[in-house]
Amino acid sequence: MLIGINLLPESYYKAKRLKRIIAFAVIGVIVVVAVMVGLYAVVLTELTTLNNEIKVVETRQQEFIKTLNEIDNIKKTKAQVDEYLGVITDLKDRQVLWPLILDNFNKTVPANVWLNALNNKSDAGGFKTFTVTGVGLFKESVADFVSNLNEPTGFFKNAFLVSMSEAAINGRMSYTFTISFQTIEEAKIKPPRQMSIGDVGSTGTYGNNYINIEYGCSISAPDGWKINDKGLTSNVLLLMIKEKRDIKAKFTPIVTLSVEKLPGDKMTPKQVQILNQKKYSGWPGYQKISEKEFTINGEKVYDLEFSWLTKTKNEKNKNLTLRQRQIFYVTGSKVFVITCSDVDESFNENRDEFGIIFNSFRVKEAAK
C-alpha cells in the first residue's frame, strides 16, 4: 500500500480558499448588481407607464373641466329658457283666464233672463268686481241668477242685487236689474294644467293631476296642495293635503276621492246622499248644514255638508268640530265621492279651493 505525503505548505491551501471566497463574493456582487439593475429597469418602466397614465388623466381632466364648463353654460341657458317659458306660460294662462270666466259666467245665467251689459274693474287684493245689467221675466229668475253666482263650487262670489224695478218690455211686464259680484282670486281661478285620461297610459299622479285608468276619472289639485295615492284603503283613490298651513293649526285641510259600488240599480245622486246621511247621522254631534243638487261638467251631482265631533291628536283628546262637504257623482254601477274636510272655524277659508277641486273632476263616460 502506497502512502501519500502532502508536501505543500498550509499557506497554499489558505490562498486557494481565499480565491474561492473572493470568486463567490464577486459572483454575489454581480448577481446583486444584476438584480438591482433589473429592479431599476422594472421600476423605471413602471414609472414611465405611470407618467404616461398621469398625462392621460391630466388630458382627460382638462376634457372633463371643459365638459363641466359646458354643462354649467347649459344649466344657465336652461334657467333662462325656463324663465322665458314661465313668462310665456303665464301669458297663456292669462289668455285662458277670460274665456274661463266668461264660460262659467254663461253657465250661471238662468232661463228667462237676458243681459244688456257686463262691466268689470279690478279692486285691491286681486279681486275683480263685475256689474251686470239685464232683464228678467220673473223676480224668481233674477233671484236664481244671484244664487247661481254665489254657488260655492263656482268661480264667483259676493253677488248681490244692486237694484231691480218693473218695466214694460214689448208689452209685457218684466224686471230690469243690476247685479254686482266678484271673481275669486286670480291665483286660485287660474286653471291647473289638467291632463286628460288619454294623455297617459297608467294610473298615477302627474304633477298636480291624478288620473285613474281603471275607473276612467281624473282630478287636479290647486297650487299649495299635495296629492297622495299610496298606502290608502282599497276604495280611496287619493288623498289631497293642503300644504303651508300654520303649524299651530288644529287640523290640516284634506280632500279624498273614493269610489263605491251602488247598493241598487239606477240610483240617483240624491238617493246615494240619503243613504250616506243615514250612516253619518249616528256620528257624535252630527249636524246637517246643507244639501243641494248642481252640475259638474254637465253632470248632475248631489252635495251634502255636515259637521260632527271628533278627538284631536293633541290637547289631550279635546273635542274638535269637524266640517265636511261631500259630492256624490253617480255613473253606471258606481258612485264617486269627493269629501273635503276642515275644522269648522276655518272651513270657509278653503271653500274656494274646494270648489276648484270639485270642478276639476272628470269622468271619461261624461265626455259624450
Per-residue confidence band for 368, with pLDDT thresholds at 50, 70 and 90: very low
**pLDDT at 87 > cutoff 70:** no
Query: Is the pLDDT reported for residue 176 higher than 90?
Result: yes
If you average pLDDT over residues 104-115, what whole number do you get?
Answer: 89
Q: Is the pLDDT of residue 124 over 70?
A: no
Q: State the average pLDDT over residues 278-290.
A: 84
Across the range 296-310, mean pLDDT stands at 82
Kindly state whether residues 112 and 257 are assigned to the same domain.
no
C-alpha cell at 270: 240624491
86-95, 111-120, 297-306 — which is least confidently predicted? 86-95
Q: Which residue among 160, 187, 214 closes a domain?
A: 187
**200 and 235, same structural domain?**
yes
pLDDT the model gives residue 366: 47
Domains held by the chain: number: 2
91: pLDDT strictly greater than 80: no
Last residue of a domain, one of 187, 219, 234: 187
What per-residue confidence (pLDDT) applies to 201? 77
Residues 333, 265 share a domain: yes
pLDDT, tens digit, for every residue of 304-342?
898 888 876 655 567 788 899 988 888 878 889 999 999
pTM: 0.52
Same domain, residue pair 129 and 219: no
Q: Say if residue 217 is in the same domain as residue 297.
A: yes
In a domain, residue 18? The reply is no
Quick check: is 77 in a domain? no
Among 88-102, 149-163, 177-191, name the most confident range: 149-163
Place of cell 298651513: 245
Examine the domain organization and report whether 357 and 228 are in the same domain.
yes
Residue 136 has a pLDDT of 92
Least confident interval from 6-15, 184-193, 281-290 = 184-193
| 361 occurs within a structural domain | yes
Q: Which of 151, 166, 187 is the last residue of a domain?
A: 187
- Interval 185-224: pLDDT, tens: 655 555 556 677 777 778 888 878 899 988 888 998 887 8
Domain of residue 244, residue span = 193-366
pLDDT classification of 367: cutoffs 50, 70, 90:
very low
Q: Is residue 232 located within the same domain as residue 361?
A: yes
Question: Does 161 share its domain with 215?
Answer: no
Pair 282, 262 in one domain: yes
Instruction: Answer whether residue 55 is part of any domain.
Output: no
Q: What's the rounded mean pLDDT across residues 219-231?
A: 86
Same domain (yes/no): 171, 262: no
Residue 9 or residue 200, greater confidence: 200
CATH number of the domain enclosing 118: 3.30.70.2830
**Domain match, 146 and 217 both:** no
Kindly report the average pLDDT of the chain as a whole number: 80
